[in-house]
Amino acid sequence: MIIPFIIRIYSHSYHDPFPLPDPTGHGGGFVFDCRGLPNPGRIPEFHPLTGFDKDVILMLDRSEEATSFLHHAFCLIKQIAEAHIERGFTDLSVIFGCTGGRHRSVYCAERMAERLREVGFHTRVIHWWLEREDSTYQIRRAMILAAGFGVRLQPLTDSIPKALVELDGKTMLEHSIDALQKAGFREIAINAHHHAEQIEQAVSRLRMEKPSLTLSISYEPEILGTGGGIRAAARWIHSPNPILIHNVDIWSDFNLNQLYQAHNPNNLATLICQERESSSYLLVDDEDRVCGIAVGDREIVAKPPVKSLRRLGFSGIHIISPRLFQRLLEKDEFSIIDSYLRLIADGETVRSFIVEGNWFDIGKLEKLEMANAFFKNRGN
């Protein structure tokens, strides 16, 4: 597998802080100011509309200024994108900004994506202001962590990735995707390393079965761990709204929609927990703030707790705020829990959210057997 080149295209409001952060850390790309184009927002009947509405599209399609603007922007983007590919780069960011982030920038982002796709480029479009401020246009994005070697599931994983190990007649990957789709997630990235080509084949089939979903693979030539995997997948899941992270080797009957809505965007992350026995624990204070971890008899406390600490089992599901990508200083392979501890010590807030329900860590052979027995008994 190769890492594909993608062009991320944003629409943006100049009322927002600027520039938008580049999730890849490259810091490069184009910013085009659409405020010199005719403004549909100044026409009363167009004011509540957006760049998706046909009346706005027709008005700007007929505008010589908009046509010339997009032509010159396309030529610049195409030239630099081709040079990037030749030099081995994988990403290019393009931002279209206007006053309100509803009309001209949205129109230009969509039209540019169409033109670039017509000449063979892979594009992602993120309407930064519109998605954040108008729930009608919000796209829920998630990531499934599936790149690991599945050592605890050997010999099953000698020839297949753990994501394709079956539970109750369906692969772990399918269980995770189905749960996310049920909760309203529309764009899902899956990281892959061990037997990555098999994950690619499975995802290709799932794309045909689930055309309403956008499924992307974040290929890792070298294993990156949970933190490195999330950082690398930013190119696929960068969003103005929170992002749900889900380990592929867990199964639960949790309501993922409820968990997503429980996240406060002012917090860096929300970790979904249970009161259960575990080989390692999150240390959580009386205000539900994660303050550290415990492994066996060893405790690491990154922040003084409010009153007492209790031990909670982490479920492998967490919701992150998009600014996490700008706070991840670690490179290559690293653990996201280690990054959380560093950021907690730096003053960030990571909270726990306790949920009840059935949960299995199906990344171990004995746990996989227990989960299959659970399904069998539930069906009787």
Domains defined for the chain, CATH in brackets: 6-137 (no CATH), 140-379 (3.90.550.10)
| Pairwise CA distance, residues 335 & 225, whole Å | 6
CB 177 within 8 A of CB 213: yes
CB 294 within 8 A of CB 281: yes
pLDDT tens per residue across span 205-222: 999 999 999 999 999 999
pLDDT tens per residue across span 330-374: 989 999 999 999 999 999 999 999 999 999 999 889 999 999 999
- What pLDDT score does 26 carry? 75
pLDDT band at 18, cuts 50/70/90?
Answer: low
Bridge partners of 290, per DSSP, are 284
Question: Both tokens of residue 145?
Answer: 């962590």
- What pLDDT score does 268 carry? 97
| Pairwise CA distance, residues 329 & 344, whole Å | 14
Q: What is the DSSP letter of 163?
A: G
pLDDT tens per residue across span 313-327: 999 999 999 999 989
Bridge partners of 301, per DSSP, are 292
- What pLDDT score does 146 carry? 97
- What pLDDT score does 82 carry? 96
Longest dimension (CA), the chain: 71
pLDDT band at 23, cuts 50/70/90?
Answer: confident
pLDDT tens per residue across span 241-284: 999 999 999 999 999 999 999 999 999 999 999 999 888 999 99
